[in-house]
Amino acid sequence: MQEHDFICVVDKLGNNVVKNIEIVSVAANQIVCKAHSIDADDVSTIPAGSFIVGGRFTTTHSDLSVESERYLIAYSAWKILKRDSSVDSTEAVTELETMAQEIVKTYALISDDIQFIPQLNSWDDWSV
The DSSP annotation for 14-36 comes to S-EEEEEEEEEEE-SS-EEE---
Tell me whether residue 126 is in a domain: no
| Residue 78: pLDDT over 50 | yes
Domain coverage including residue 10: 6-54
79-93 pLDDT, tens digit each: 888 887 667 777 888
For residue 10, give the H/E element and its range: strand 6-10
Considering the domain architecture, whether residues 103 and 83 belong to the same structural domain is answered as: yes
- Predicted pLDDT at 47: 84
Domain assignment present for residue 74? The answer is: yes
Q: Is 119 within a domain?
A: no
Is 75 in the same domain as 103? yes
Higher pLDDT: 26 or 97? It is: 97
Residues in the chain: 128
- At residue 80, the pLDDT reads 86
Comparing 59 with 45, which gets the higher pLDDT? Answer: 59
